[in-house]
Amino acid sequence: MSRSILEEAQIHPVIRETIANSHADIVQEVKRAVAANDIVIVGMAQNPMPKKARKLLDRQKLGYKYLEYGSYLREWRRRNALKMWTGWPTFPMVFVKGVLVGGANDLQKLIESGELGKLLNGRA
């Protein structure tokens, strides 16, 4: 799979640093969490889907790191940097063993199929 991303050659050199540094702090924070934790959920307040993902993992008695960034009207620009980084359009963003597996519904499918256990045990 290849994602459509604007080639660096198509970005004027004067603005490359601005693009590279745009909300880089949030991306770095998530990268650190993903590197340090088997399961990471990135969500936002008032959205029921991050809560659903947490409840799914709680029922499985699986630990996870939860990062919450703003609400529908707050911090949307910062969250947009995460969407651009991952290519995932919605929240939550669920990472398992460093791999983006999707959102809450995708996590539910992984649990139901037994695939989550395989991912966590390195057998996928």
Q: What is the pLDDT along the chain (124 residues), one digit of tens a residue?
A: 788 888 999 999 999 999 989 999 999 999 999 999 999 999 999 999 999 999 999 999 999 999 999 998 899 999 999 999 999 999 999 999 999 999 999 999 999 999 999 999 886 5
Q: In what order do the strands lie in the sheet with 39-43?
A: 65-68, 39-43, 93-96, 99-102
Q: Determine the pLDDT at residue 4.
A: 86
As a whole number of Å, the end-to-end CA separation of the chain is 19
Q: Determine the pLDDT at residue 123.
A: 66
Closest CA to 42 of 117, 96, 94, 109: 94
Q: What letter does residue 10 receive in the DSSP assignment? A: G
Is residue 67 helix, strand or coil? strand
- Give the pTM: 0.91
The CATH code of the domain that includes 112 is 3.40.30.10
Provide the domain count of the chain: 1
Domain that holds residue 63: 8-120
- Domain assignment of residue 48, yes or no: yes
- Domain assignment of residue 73, yes or no: yes
